[in-house]
Amino acid sequence: MVTIKDISKACNVSTTTVSKALNGYKDISDKTRDLVLKTAREMHYFPNAAARQLKTNMSHNIGVLFVDETNSGLAHEYFSTILNSAKEESEKLGYDITFISKNMGRKNFSYLDHARYRKVDGVLIACVNYKNQEVINLVNSEIPTISIDYAYDNRSSVMSNNIEGAYELTKFLIEKGHKKIAFIHGERTSVTEKRLNGFFRACKEGGILEKKEWVLEAKFHDTKSSAEATEKLMKLADPPTAIMYPDDFAYLGGLNALEKLNLSVPDDVSVVGYDGVKLAQVLRPKLTTYYQDAEMIGIKSVRKLVEIIEQPKFCVPEQIMVSGRLLVGGTVKDLSNKRNTSKK
């Protein structure tokens, strides 16, 4: 590994002069500075991370806490997009990424212990059981954190606007003339509670009668539970004309269940998803869904976390809301014209 001493010998200057040139000091000539920088590039010099950490008391390393209970890992398109954009933004700001876990080799760590062991400057909490005590211990520690889609007291977070998303989807179905709308939602998390809020608000505004049997719990990113919920709904004496799913991937399970019941989309039943992943847009008919701006969520999360790390005295905890948008496909049948015609 090339050192400052190697560069000083090649340039025939002192190590102090090399250090000043590399760190942008003004008390050396432009000619000497240019020579040192040119030589450093040619010799592929990189600052020693350990030495830089001792000098600045910063590792320029961001920890990422990502525990996916659906076992999709980085194949989960929504979260993989968030993490990829977070990684790219971190690199632009001069930070590396390290995943934080409870296991390393044969040793068991708490999330906080692992973060301290890796000497991360901050942690991005992307996906985890937010009420887990070990996660809470990390949030309440000296290490700066930012969470996605969950807000802790006196801590910053970046939130996808789930109330708005569910509201817009429900409102769209109502505008298309649907009165019998079912909602298959994910596990009872803060995200689910917000989506239910948006769903019920839109139903109330639209004068839609809510039926308990039309609101069922399944799992996020799980085809099996959505298939079972779909079958249960469509076998009711009074089945819905439209079904909302936890996410686009979960809809695939619902689609299989509908096909087994010889029901077609959208002729027999209309459907909408959530997330706006690429997979949903290549299905035929194209899925009507709500696009979450996962890329912007990742970018804003890292920017805020770096602000907390680098300017702790001036940084105020805040909830940063990221809006999405409705993507209209071909999975919703328009019943409004039919009703208007019947009234005539």
pLDDT at 200: 96
Average pLDDT over all residues of the chain: 89
Same fold, 4-47 and 61-160+295-323: no
Q: Which two tokens stand for residue 305?
A: 């976390």
- 162-292: what fold? Rossmann fold (3.40.50)
Q: Which helix (H) or strand (E) holds 133?
A: helix 133-139
Whether 325 has a pLDDT exceeding 90, the answer reads yes
Task: Determine which of 107-111, 121-125, 236-240 has the lowest per-residue pLDDT on average.
Answer: 107-111
Q: Which helix (H) or strand (E) holds 239?
A: none
Whether 344 has a pLDDT exceeding 60, the answer reads no
pLDDT at 24: 80
Q: What's the pLDDT band for 342 if we cut at 50, 70, 90? A: very low
pLDDT at 68: 72
**What are the boundaries of each domain within the chain?**
4-47, 61-160+295-323, 162-292
Domain 61-160+295-323 -> CATH class:
alpha beta
- How far is Cα 290 from Cα 277, in angstroms, rounded to an integer? 9
Which residues have CB under 8 Å from 248's CB, separation 6+?
273, 274, 275, 276, 277, 279, 280, 287, 289
Task: List the strands of the sheet with 122-127, edge to edge.
Answer: 96-100, 61-66, 122-127, 145-148, 156-160, 319-322
- How far is Cα 221 from Cα 214, in angstroms, rounded to an integer? 20
Q: What's the pLDDT band for 2 if we cut at 50, 70, 90? A: confident
Q: For the whole prediction, is pTM greater than 0.85? A: no
pLDDT digits (tens, 9 = 90+) for 239-271: 999 999 999 999 999 999 999 999 999 999 999
Mean pLDDT, residues 53-82 taken together: 76
Q: Which helix (H) or strand (E) holds 69?
A: none
Q: What's the pLDDT band for 192 if we cut at 50, 70, 90? A: very high
- Domain 4-47 CATH (choose: 1.10.260.40, 1.10.3720.10, 3.40.50.1370, 3.40.50.620): 1.10.260.40
